[in-house]
Amino acid sequence: MVRILALVTCSFFMSVLLSGCVPESKTVIDDQGARISSFDWNIPDSIPFPKVPANNPMTEEKFQLGRHLFYDKRLSSNGDISCSSCHEQDKAFSDGITRATGATGDVHPRNSQTLVNAAWYQTLTWGNPLLVTIEQQIMLPLLGTDPIEHGINEANFEQILQSIQADPVYNELFAAAFPQQEDPLLGEQAWNNSIKSLASFVRGLVSFNSPFDRGELNASAKRGERLFNGEVLECFHCHAGYNFSDATTDRETQFSQLDFHNTGLYNIDGSGAYPEPNTGQHEVTGKSEHMGRFRAQSLRNIELSAPYNHDGSVATLRDVILNYANGGRVIASGENSGDGRMSPVKDGFIVSFNITNSEVDDLVEFLKSLTDTSFVTNPRFSNPWLPPSSQQTFTESQEP
Amino acid sequence: MKHPMKNTLSALALISSGILLTGCGGSSSTSTDTGANTINVSIPFQAVAGSEKIACGENITGLGTGAGGAGNSAKIADFRMFVHGIKLITDQGLKIPVSLDANQPSQNSDVVLLDFRDKAELDNEGKVTAICVSGTAANPHYNDTVKGSVTVDPAYTISHVEFTLGVPFELNHADQTKAAEPLRNPGLATGMHWNWQGGYKFTAFDVLPTGGIIRPSNNAWSSSKWNLHVGSTGCSVSPSDLGNGIEPEVCSAPNKSIIRLAIGTNDLDDIAIKLDYAALVSDSNLSEDGDNAPGCMSGGSDPECEATFEKLGLPWAANEAVAQTVFSIVDRAEN
Amino acid sequence: MKHYFSLFTLFIPLLAQAHYIPAKDTPITLNASLAATWRSDNVVEENEYWQVPGSNMGGDAWPAEEGIQVDEMTLGLGIRIDENTYGIVEVGTHASGRSDHSSVSLEHAYIGYTCCEEFGPLVIEVGKMSAAFSPSLSSHAAERLTSETSLAADVFFGRYFHDEGARLMWHSDSLTAGAEIWKGNAFPATASAGYAWDAFARYQWRGNNFSLSSGAWLYRSSAETRADHRYGGGHQHTPVAVPGETIAVFPDTRFTGDTDVYGIHADVAYTSDDQYWKSGLKAEFMGMQMDGTLHDAIGRAADLDSDQTGAWAQPYITVKNHTFGIRAEWLTSDNVITGAPANQLGADSGMANPTGFEPSRYTAIWLWQWKETIALRTEIIDDQSLLEDNLRFGVGIIWKQTLWPFNGNSHH
């Protein structure tokens, strides 16, 4: 009798436990439309969409118009410079030289960057915390006077616009890109429309199809990846995330902290000074703690964009790595001499580390695995003004 | 008990004072009466370098401390500036803002672009192909006058005129390709875009000294243009922030000089504001540049900014602002 | 003496929490225990991360590993300081997935004070201690039937609860009630977010053959940028892969917000008259609510509203020296993640469980109390807590002994 009671109690308890308030398992994910876009970005699902300014939504037509303007040499004072003059597709839209020269002979103080995944950067250019959109940045090469790059000025901007307006190709492109405007090419908004479409083209330069993305690393690159992510080199701290830069922002990012870093390349006065005018973030803010701080570049396609660093003063990837291994760069003589390793304003992560030659090779091999050959040969990003026969006959392939 | 005499007297007093008021424009009205205390204001600026007028193509002499103290000679390359916040100040200290006439060329209701370059080269269609340095025709964008209107009680005596050198904060960091003229770039403000701070140059006083500019510490360096670009530095605002309703932070060095000039006993009609470039560079050597950009581009470590900012009444680096010596009131009829 | 004796009897059911008060006639006691198990398989591959779908784990919830492991080793010292006061110090080790984590640590160091027997007694304990509110949480591998901690305790509390705090308990004949307040070092709290606290009550009844102990508790805490310190949290461990393989870096997602857990538990047993056999059922049910934000280092943040439940039920029968039991466990999760990065953060943090998978685990145990201080244990575990099933065996040894006073009996 007692035993029966025991059994009954036991089973009663169990059934109470099992039946009472045990809900069903489910997960509700509400991303609030983060993956809704009328523009086909053609990026893998794991990559979040980039931020797009509200006043310049991405459309395919703007992208194509911007592409035409990007490669158009008429957008310069001497009719010989287009954006592509310093941003060549086969070099991931950099130019392979230390510093470029503008239409009037001014040499730019800094190295031309790649335009890879420009849409995902928090700020544009090497060290300017104010340039938050591509639209803002584009004003500089076109209209800047210090240095003069394209050289568009008071004496030629109207004529330059006229030459664009005279080309029948642009008639269609402008009308398609700005259908709500009455006269997007000939009207008041012409320059504004041009800047917006150029920005849309640059924004659409996406590259996420490297061997790394496809998981095709050879043994050396895998070792290099481990070094990259390891606690000795700690590359991943600044070259972090899917775009290998901590200066990344996307549609999902709510809070952005502007990240600029001093890597100990110069130390001219013993207090960490960099040579004028390239003092990085300091040039804009004037704060001494910002001396020599530059944005951490995306390492995608980095193999193609030598020479390196903000002034092109580091020739190869190997040299870049050795500078980090030393904890900074020593310049023995000349006007920029100084021991960057001793810089008091150097970033806290730049401490020296031991690395063997074969480890450097492995790391370089890993960095090479970030090269997306489909990006540099994709006809979608190439010069539309060239006759069709000289264009590549690949099909678009961004899907990993 | 009503006094008939008093009534009449009061009525007379009222009537006569009314006549007096309407009749008396006093010394504080200028140009034309637009009725009911609103008057047009038109203040010309005269840009000079000592006794010589700023003009394109001319060799202006005696500038600065170079050439052994005698001063360099130079030609004008660019000579523009933005002003805003024009006010009349009464002798009681009351500030009366001048409403800018938005229909006038080179100004809108917020800001005026003064362009002292008198010459340009034009093509068949009247478009500018060269400006100032080599120019034979009149510059269609030449503008040396601020035009507006002000509502002021004629009983007041105006003692000062005030203006601010620069572009108002909200407009200074907005999208330049969409801005209303004279802030549009490309447009009237072409060449006034300030690369690195994303705003406007408040002044573009750029000259070409004869013999060029050298740098004593660096034999390999040379330049041809001595610039004076005043603008806000230490800013942390971007147009996208403004567009998203994010409160911009004020720039750490706004560099907007507020110029207040006493007009003495003169009528507004009779005065002009003199801008003396020679006074501005009186302590600068135009054939040399110590460091940074050639001339002064407002950088905190740009040595040429020390003297020029002082003359403009601006603080620079650790220096406090002192009274400006560039602007003054002169008789309109002269020069 | 009588008081102390009754105190002892009160605490016998709480023995499972390793909670005792040294008797006056044995002012110093030293107890040791060791549980070591050989397992036939890992629950996850080496260099993979143990993440139960739908949960956000952390603390010390290390996965079971193939081979021999010392599940736990403790050495506890109890000192009776005076009539009302006593002190407990215990050091121990726990199994962990990394050699640099399993080290001897101070687990308990606290002072207790009893008083006020007129309405009570009351017991106050202050120091570094284990939590007393949940029997699952204070169980040790050397004391409970199974070698592996329950899934609910692993997932909701990171397996162990050692923290600095204070505890107040009130005892009457059959009722115990208590409250604890903690500094917040123990998962799922973080110390930076303020105090964590809990309250509990327990009822005990003892008859001739039956015994019943049942209780309920509530635990509330807050966390600020809480990391999964097993694998992430500032000092990332980069696992080294076998040549030819790559390993993903652990996504260091953090949680900021409140975690509230409530539970009910019961322990029913029937002992035969001649004490030859005993049968019973132990069970506990927990419900957890997380309300806060998931976020990561690159500024992405998404709101999280999570309702999870965990339960285990363990019927057993003990005949002479042998105990046979089965432990069945279940987890459910109902998570709502809102925000633009909801997809990524949900996947990175482990909270996303898109298929509605419901983890469960069944363990069958045979424990043979071979000698008074040594037991041998054999287990079969059908582990369906991850998307891939895992079946493993365990053979283990348990040693428990009171080293001082040396009479071979372990009351600890």
**Spatial separation of the C-alpha atoms in residues B303 and B283, rounded to whole Å:** 12
Residue-level pLDDT at C203: 94
Q: Is the pLDDT of residue B98 over 80?
A: yes
CB contact under 8 A, A143 and B252: no
Q: Where are the domains of chain C?
A: 35-69+145-165+172-404
Among the ranges given (B106-115, B166-175, C205-214), the one the predictor scored with the smallest mean pLDDT: B166-175
> Which of C54, C246, C299 lies nearest to residue A254, judging by beta carbons?
C299
Contact between residue C336 and residue A30 where contact means Cβ atoms under 8 Å apart: yes
A55 touches chain B (CB under 8 A): yes
Residues C171-214 pLDDT 10s: 988 899 999 999 999 999 999 988 999 999 999 999 889 999 99
CA distance, residue A2 to nearest chain C CA (Å): 9
Closest CA to A59 of A139, A178, A192, A206: A178
B194 CA to chain A: closest CA distance, Å? 7
Q: Chain A contacts of C246, Cβ < 8 Å? A: 215, 217, 222, 225
Do C and B count as touching (3 or more CB pairs closer than 8 A)?
Answer: no
Average pLDDT estimate for A381-391: 79
Q: What is the pLDDT of residue B28?
A: 34
Nearest chain A alpha carbon to C268: A10
Q: Which two tokens stand for residue A71?
A: 């490669």
pLDDT digits (tens, 9 = 90+) for B38-62: 889 999 999 999 999 999 999 999 9
**A11 Cβ neighbours under 8 A, 6+ residues apart:** none
**pLDDT tens per residue, range B27-43:** 333 445 444 488 899 99
Q: Do A144 and B185 touch (CB under 8 A)?
A: no
- Which of A32-41, A326-335, B49-58, B69-78 is the least confident region? A32-41
**HSE, side-chain direction, 13 A CA sphere, residue C227:** 13
Contact C342 A226 (CB under 8 A): no
Structure tokens at C58: 């952390």
Distance to chain A for B179, nearest Cα, Å: 10
Which residue would you say has higher pLDDT here, B4 or C314? C314
Confidence of residue C152 (pLDDT cuts 50, 70, 90): very high
Tokens of C226: 């809480």
CB-nearest partner of A219 from C243, C300, C309: C243
How high is the pLDDT of residue B241? 64
* Distance separating alpha carbons of residues B186 and B184, to the nearest angstrom: 6
Q: Are chains A and C touching, using the cut-off of 8 Å on CB pairs and a minimum of 3 such pairs? A: yes
**Do the chains contact at A28 and C335, CB–CB below 8 Å?**
yes
- Of A6-15, A340-349, B238-247, B267-276, the one with minimum mean pLDDT is A6-15
pLDDT for C11 equals 38
Q: Which residue has the tokens 């890109």?
A: A177
User: Per the structure block, which two tokens stand in for C382?
Assistant: 């059908």
| A392 reaches C (C-beta below 8 A) | no
Q: What is the 3-state secondary structure (H, E, C) of A179-220?
A: CCCCCCCCCCCHHHHHHHHHHHHHHCCCCCCCHHHHCCCCHH
The whole-angstrom distance between B247's CA and the closest CA on chain A is 14
pLDDT at B19: 43
pLDDT digits (tens, 9 = 90+) for A328-344: 999 999 889 999 999 99
Asked whether the predicted pLDDT for residue C76 surpasses 80, the reply is yes
Least confident range of B32-36, B315-319, C27-31, C240-244? B32-36
Confidence of residue A393 (pLDDT cuts 50, 70, 90): very low
In angstroms, how far is CA A299 from the centroid of its own chain? 9
pTM over 0.80: no
Lowest average pLDDT, out of A347-351, A369-373, C368-372, goes to A347-351
Nearest CA-CA distance, residue A397 and chain C, Å: 24
Interface contact A17, partner C, CB < 8 A? yes
Whether C1 has a pLDDT exceeding 80, the answer reads no
Contact B234 A285 (CB under 8 A): yes
CATH number 1.10.760.10 given to A211-373: yes
Asked if A341 is an interface residue toward chain C (Cβ–Cβ < 8 A), one would say no
Distance between start and end Cα atoms, chain A: 70
Q: What is the ipTM of this complex?
A: 0.78
CA distance A262 to A249: 20
Neighbours of C, requiring at least 3 CB pairs below 8 Å, are A
Record: contact B240-A145, CB cut-off 8 A? no
- Cβ contacts of A189 on chain B, cutoff 8 Å: 178
Cβ neighbours of A25 in C, within 8 Å: 54, 332-334, 353, 356-358
Confidence (pLDDT) at C45: 82
Contact A93, A23 (CB under 8 A): no
Strand partners, A101: A107
Nearest residue to C54 (alpha-carbon basis) of C283, C360, C265: C360
Which of A:221-280 have CB within 8 Å of C? Answer: 222, 225-226, 229-231, 236, 240-241, 246, 248-249, 251-257
Token pair 């080199």 is at which residue? A233
Q: Which of chain A's residues have a Cβ under 8 Å away from the Cβ of B299?
A: 283, 286
CATH of C35-69+145-165+172-404, one of 2.40.160, 3.30.450, 2.60.120, 2.60.40: 2.40.160
Q: What is the pLDDT of residue A131?
A: 87
CA quadruple B115, B120, B123, B124: dihedral sign: positive
Percent of chain B having pLDDT more than 70?
84
- B244 against A72, higher pLDDT: A72
Q: What percent of chain C has pLDDT over 70?
A: 87
Tokens of A178: 């700005």
Kindly list the residues from chain C whose CB atom is less than 8 angstroms away from the CB atom of residue A236: 249
Element (H, E) at B203: strand B203-209
B221 touches chain A (CB under 8 A): no
Any chains having at least 3 CB pairs less than 8 A from chain B are A
C-beta atoms of A46 and C344 within 8 A: yes
Q: Cβ separation of C333 and A28 shorter than 8 Å?
A: no
pLDDT tens for C86-113 read 999 999 988 765 555 557 889 899 999 9
Q: Which CATH architecture has domain A60-206?
A: Orthogonal Bundle (1.10)
Q: Which of A23, A217, A222 sits opposite C307 (nearest CB)?
A: A23
Residues A161-177 have a mean pLDDT of 94
Sign of CA dihedral C180, C183, C189, C194: positive
pLDDT of C291 strictly over 80: yes
Per-residue pLDDT tens for B297-333? 998 888 999 999 999 999 998 899 999 999 999 988 7
Query: Measured between beta carbons, which residues in chain C are less than 8 angstroms from residue A35?
Result: 343
pLDDT at C24 over 70: no
Measure the CA–CA gap between A366 and A300, rounded to whole angstroms: 11
Question: What's the pLDDT at C296?
Answer: 83
Q: What is the largest CA-CA distance in chain A?
A: 109
C14 pLDDT more than 60:
no
* Distance from the C10 Cα atom to the nearest Cα atom in chain A, whole angstroms: 23
What percent of chain B clears pLDDT 90, i.e. is strictly above it? 49
Interchain contact A285–B (C-beta under 8 A): yes
pLDDT reported for residue C6? 38
Closest CB from B176, B186, B198 relative to A157: B186
Chain A nearest C-alpha distance from C342 (Å):
5
Angstrom distance (rounded) from CA B169 to CA B237: 10
Phi and psi angles of residue C48, each rounded to the nearest 5 degrees, phi first: -100, 165
Ramachandran angles phi, psi of A277, nearest 5°: -85, 10
Question: Where in chain A are all domains bearing CATH 1.10.760.10?
Answer: 60-206, 211-373
Q: Of all helices (H) and strands (E), which one includes residue C362? A: strand C360-368
Is 80 exceeded by the pLDDT of residue B124? yes
Distance from CA of C165 to the nearest CA of A (A): 31
Quick check: A155 and B234 CB within 8 A? no
The conformation of residue C55, written as its DSSP 8-state character, comes to -
Residue type, B74: A
Tell me whether chains B and A touch (3+ CB pairs under 8 A).
Answer: yes
Contacting subunits of A (3+ beta carbon pairs below 8 A): B, C
For residues B265-293, average pLDDT: 90
